[in-house]
Structure 1
C-alpha cells in the first residue's frame, strides 16, 4: 500500500481558493509560507476615547495610539497561524485557523469569524460571527463597522483595520506597511 503525502496549503490560500494565486506578490508571500516569519514596518494607530471603547480595546488587546515601528511575527503550521504584533512595547497576539470556510481569529477574550474575499487584488475581511470567551455569541449586526483590508503598494505589503461598535463608537483604526525583516 502506498502512502501519498498531500502538500500543505497555507491557511489563507485554502480559504481564498484559486483567487489566492491572482493576488499581488506581497500578499501571497506574507500568507504562503509555513514556519516562522518576521516582518517589520510602520503603523499609525488611532484609538477610540469612550470608556466602553477603551474596555473593548483592552478585551481584544488592541495596540495603543501612536505612530511608529511595528514588528509582526507569524508562526504558521498545519493550517494554523499565530500572529504577534509588537507596537510601542505592546504585544497584540492572535491565533488564526479555518472552520466552515471562514477564518477564525482569537484576539484576547473574543473569537471572530471572518469571511475572506479577494476584491480588486486586495484581501477583504468581513465579520461573520463573534463570541466572547468562546461561548457567548454577539449579534453580527453590531460588527458591521469592523473591517480589514490587505493590499499591495508596489512590492510592499499594506494593511488597514477599522473597528467601531454601536454605543462604544470608534475602537481603533490602524494602518501601515510591512516588509520581510
Structure 2
C-alpha cells in the first residue's frame, strides 16, 4: 500500500513562491509564511446579496458553491496547502459541505497566472500585488471543454491582505450594469494546530 503524499514541507519552495520568484517578497510577510507553510484560517464573515432578481441569482449561485443563503454572519474555515506543485484551498462555511479548489500555476509573475479548477468550471486567473495583498483577476473561463466569453462572465474581485495582524478576505461577484449579486468578506485568523 502506497503512503499518502505529504504536503510540500515548510523548508521547500512551494508552487506560490516558485511562481512569484524574487517578487514573492512583495507579499506581506504573513502571506509569505502562509504560502510557504500552509495553514488553516478561520473566523466570522458577512455574506451579501444583491436586491431583487439579482439577489435571486446570487442565492442560486451561493447554493451551488456551498455558501449559506441567508445573508447574515457565518463562520468560514479555509485550509491552504501545497501538493504536487499546486495550491489547494479547502473552504467550509459553518459546518457545511467542503468546497475545494485546486490552482495550477503557468508561467511566472507578473505575466503568468493560475488555472483554478472547481468542478466543471475552470478559471484562468492572474495576480496583482496591492499593498502587500494578493488580488485575483479573471482573464478567462471554461465550462467543461467550452470557453466562455469574458463579456458573459460576472465580474469577480477576490483577494486577501493583512489587516491589524489578521487575514482580510473579500470576494465580490457582480454582473455588468446590475451590480453585486454575491459577496462575502471578513477578518480571519490563523488557527493554532489545536484549533483545526
Q: Do structure 1's residue 125 and structure 2's residue 136 form an aligned pair? A: yes
Distance 1:116 1:40 in 2: 23
- C-alpha deviation, 1:151, in angstroms: 0.9
Q: Distance in 1 between the 2:35 and 2:142 partners?
A: 25
Matched, 1:96 2:103: yes
Assess, with a 3 A threshold, how the Cα gap between structure 1 residues 85 and 104 changes in structure 2: closer, same or farther.
same
| Partner of residue 76, structure 1 | 82
C-alpha contact 1:52 1:168 (8 A) present in aligned 2 = no
Structure with more strand by fraction = 1
What is the aligned partner in structure 1 of residue 7 from structure 2? none
Q: CA–CA distance in 1 between the matches of 2:58 and 2:76?
A: 23
TM-score w.r.t. length of structure 1:
0.80
Q: CA deviation at 1:62?
A: 4.8
* Counterpart Cα distance in 1 of 2:87 and 2:31: 15
- Indicate the residue corresponding to 2:91 in structure 1: 85
Number of aligned residue pairs: give it.
171
In the superposition, relative to structure 1, how do residues 120 and 74 fare at CA in structure 2: closer, same or farther (>3 Å)?
closer
Q: For 1:18-33, what aligned pairs fall within 5 Å after superposition?
A: 18-33=22-37
Confirm or deny: 8 A CA contact 2:66 2:93 kept in the other structure: no
Consecutive unaligned residues in structure 2, runs of 5 or more: 1-10, 192-196
Matches within 5 A, 1:6-155: 8-33=12-37, 37-48=39-50, 50=53, 51-59=56-64, 61-64=65-68, 65-90=71-96, 91-100=98-107, 101-133=112-144, 135-143=145-153, 145-155=155-165
Q: Structure 1 pair 109/179, CA: closer, same or farther in 2 (3 Å)?
A: same
RMSD: 2.5
